[in-house]
Structure 1
Amino acid sequence: MALASALIVSASPAKLTPASIVVSRRFSGPLWVNPISLRRVSSPVDSIRVAAVSEKPSSSSKQSGLNLPILERWDVPWGWQTVLFTMLACGLSFAWAGLLEAVAYPYLGLHVGEASLDQQAEILLVGQFVVTASVLGVLYGITNTFKPLPNDIFRYDLKDPINLQKGWLLWAGIGLLCAIAIVVLVGFLLNIINSERPEREADVLIKLLPLIGSSSISTICLVGVTGVFAPLVEETVFRGFLMVSLTKWFPTPVSVLLSAAVFAFVHLAPGEFTQLFVFGSILGFSYAQTRNLLTPITIHGLWNTGVILLLIFLQYQGYDVRQVLQAWKGW
């Protein structure tokens, strides 16, 4: 399969990686009131009439189907300067956390090259936790200066998981199935169009190969890195902040695509840009549907975890996982 980086997004810490209703954003048109009614609003009866008239556009808007969740924008309280500054600060905090790890480990008596496989997996987990805490700390530290934030910004809500319109678990399942089908199809088409593909990010998996299935501890650590911390930080930054912020200036579908392009670019995997872009777009549209960050986080986490567990299964079945990964690179 040609699924290198798309098969596991940000598998290592070396890659960086929402319900109040605001009338001006969520309604397709402004609420209207008959001007004649406003002139005689002194009586209770007329007040009731005004209220009844005010509610009609909202009801008809919903019945018309024009007010689709996936098309609605967020009410963003910050400007473009904050967006640029925050993204830069998150990038710097990511780099700083990695540098801090490299300097701190020797002082703590930890030598990665001499560590056992379980110790290497634990170091990897701790490193990803430090990166996640650092980046999210910077992100929330900056955006909290704009409190109170709308309830649908940075929303992690476990309620109504299978609601047909907003259910985070239901739409995570739908998004995951779409991601598998579309990403595989895109990879197949790209392989037909261009047989000479550049270096692929399956190399990331190859570097992790000694840890895959070596023990229950290493497996838990890898799932923690790829299935929990990496999806949490990446989806909060790219969907929860960047995509939401872009809806202040662009329609939501355009914001989804722009944030997906940035998401794919920062993974520094040119050979996988198209598949990462497609995957990021599916994550973005799933989030726009539910306005709940648990949706893209769940899709992202299940995708990465599924890859790790699949490789472990193949290994237990007697397959040479290294050859499987090399085949993915050339598919």
Structure 2
Amino acid sequence: MGAWALSFLLVGLVLAPLVVKAAGVTNYSRLTATDKSFLVLANQVAETVVGIAVIKRTIGGFDPLPEEADLFKTSWREPFSKPRGWLTWALLGMVLSPAVIGITVTIVSYAGYEAVGGQGTADGVARIISLDLPTYASLLAVTGILAPFLEETVFRGFLLTTLTKWMPTPAAVVLSATAFGLAHLSPRDLPQLIALGTLLGFSYVRSRNLLTPMIIHGAWNSVVLTVLFALTASGVNVSEMLSSGS
């Protein structure tokens, strides 16, 4: 996990800025929203490729899974078979995710949880939303496909399954979900991220197929992105809305 985190930071904070500078971009703020979305897409592609390579290199020639588990796999076979049908659990997770997030928001609101500082997970995307198809397509590829693919491989396929060697599966699910939430560096959204990560973890354990949490994760992100674009199209300033917490 340390090697993956280091590679993620090096790509995002060192390699990407160097490539952008080499391309002749000297003032990021003057780029159009479409150009910014293309840069975000390119950065996510690089982080995904490097991240998966690091995970595979770390695993090397040994199997990090408990002998009784058949996890860390991606297979399109038997989507509705019982009891492990990956698409069955994915559809159930897609239905449950809004309820899980909504209940979590309600609980933390009544509990008085209030993060100091920081930004939400949607804030960065909201700043570069532009009502054109290339921008939407680029951001959809990042949030709905690449990010779920990388994050589910790291936090469910690698971290969760490795933790099951040393602790009960439910504890591994919650601990990996907590790591998933913390990795987003978003104190404001931390409870919701942990709740979503827990749902993703249990869906993965039930299906034993990474396609399940990837689909749930991608669907959730895609819906959120689409809602932000729809609000922007209706004249709402989504950046101000998100910063005000409304």
Same fold (TM over 0.5): yes
**How far is 1:208 from its partner?**
2.5
Partner of 2:58: 142
1:165 aligns with 2:54: no
**How far is 1:140 from its partner?**
0.7
CA contact (8 A) 2:64 2:161 kept: no
Partner of 1:198: 116
Partner of 2:11: 97
TM superposition outliers: structure 1 runs of 4+ over 4 Å: 147-151
Partner of 2:180: 263
Instruction: Report the secondary structure of 2:160's partner residue.
Output: helix
Among 89, 105, 115, the residue aligned to 1:187: 105
- Alignment size in residue pairs: 242
**How far is 1:106 from its partner?**
1.0
Q: Take 1:90 and 1:195, find their aligned partners in 2: how far apart are those partners?
A: 31
Partner of 1:237: 154
Q: Take 2:75 and 2:231, find their aligned partners in 1: how far apart are those partners?
A: 35
CA contact (8 A) 1:200 1:271 kept: yes
1:63-100: CA deviations, max 9, x gaps? Answer: xxxxxxxxxxxxxxxxxxxxxxxx11101111111211
Q: Take 1:118 and 1:308, find their aligned partners in 2: how far apart are those partners?
A: 15
CA contact (8 A) 2:119 2:187 kept: no
Partner of 1:107: 22
CA contact (8 A) 1:264 1:276 kept: yes
Among 47, 55, 58, the residue aligned to 1:131: 47
Judging changes above 3 Å, is the alpha-carbon distance between structure 1 residues 131 and 116 closer, same or farther for their aligned structure 2 residues? Answer: same
TM value normalised by structure 1: 0.67
Instruction: Report the secondary structure of 2:48's partner residue.
Output: helix
Q: Partner letter of residue 169 of structure 2?
A: T
Structure 2, gaps ≥5 residues long:
none
Judging changes above 3 Å, is the alpha-carbon distance between structure 1 residues 312 and 164 closer, same or farther for their aligned structure 2 residues? Answer: farther
Partner of 1:9: none
Among 70, 77, 83, the residue aligned to 1:152: 70
**How far is 1:176 from its partner?**
2.1
CA contact (8 A) 2:75 2:209 kept: yes
Judging changes above 3 Å, is the alpha-carbon distance between structure 1 residues 193 and 239 closer, same or farther for their aligned structure 2 residues? Answer: same
1:121 aligns with 2:37: yes
CA contact (8 A) 1:261 1:277 kept: yes
Among 180, 195, 209, the residue aligned to 2:126: 209
Percent pairwise identity: 34
1:34-74: CA deviations, max 9, x gaps? Answer: xxxxxxxxxxxxxxxxxxxxxxxxxxxxxxxxxxxxxxxxx
Q: Partner letter of residue 194 of structure 1?
A: G
Judging changes above 3 Å, is the alpha-carbon distance between structure 1 residues 148 and 255 closer, same or farther for their aligned structure 2 residues? Answer: closer
Partner of 1:178: 96
CA RMSD in angstroms, aligned pairs only = 2.2
Larger displacement relative to structure 2 (164-173 or 217-226): 164-173
